[in-house]
Amino acid sequence: MSLFDEKLIFLDYESKNKKDILKNLSKELENMGYVDSYKNFSKAVLEREKHSTTGIGFNIAIPHGKSSSVHEPFVVLAKPKKSLEWESLDDEPVDMIFLIGVPEKSADEHLKILQKLSVNLMDEKFRENLKNAESKEEILNLVKNIE
């Protein structure tokens, strides 16, 4: 099963701030059956955010959560309509968000996903191609090899 799915790519996503986008993406996930409870999942993600920022720099954030509400590991890619403050490591706002969800019982699945994603995001050309992609198809073609 692929971690990336066209249904989990959101372009020009309306949101006011970090908390708002995480809550709303969690609602989308509940509506699509990826999580049982958007409240439980968004709470897990926001609790993780309290420990340290997931804004890794380069205008990218990788929030993640382990929750009993999650059925299977997934990655959401969201590009907000407007850049969002995220308390990033480089103090820059975020315009690309990779939201990772894994079942609570999965040992270190989220770490494996984070590692694979991070390796690719360190590549400047890959980041630029993602930022410039204007369709879900373009994005899927770029991320399909991250498995």
**How would you label 37-72 residue by residue, b for 16+ Cβ within 10 Å and e otherwise?**
ebebbbbbbbebbeeebbbbebbbbbbbbbbebbee
| Catalytic residue from among 51, 64, 71, 110 | 64
Tokens 């890619």 belong to which residue? 77
Pick left, alpha or beta for residue 92 (phi over 0 → left; psi -120 to 50 → alpha; otherwise beta).
Answer: beta
64 catalytic? Reply is yes
Q: How far is CA 67 from CA 4, 127, 145, in A?
A: 19, 29, 26
**d(C-alpha 117, C-alpha 104), whole Å:** 20
Kindly list the catalytic residues.
64
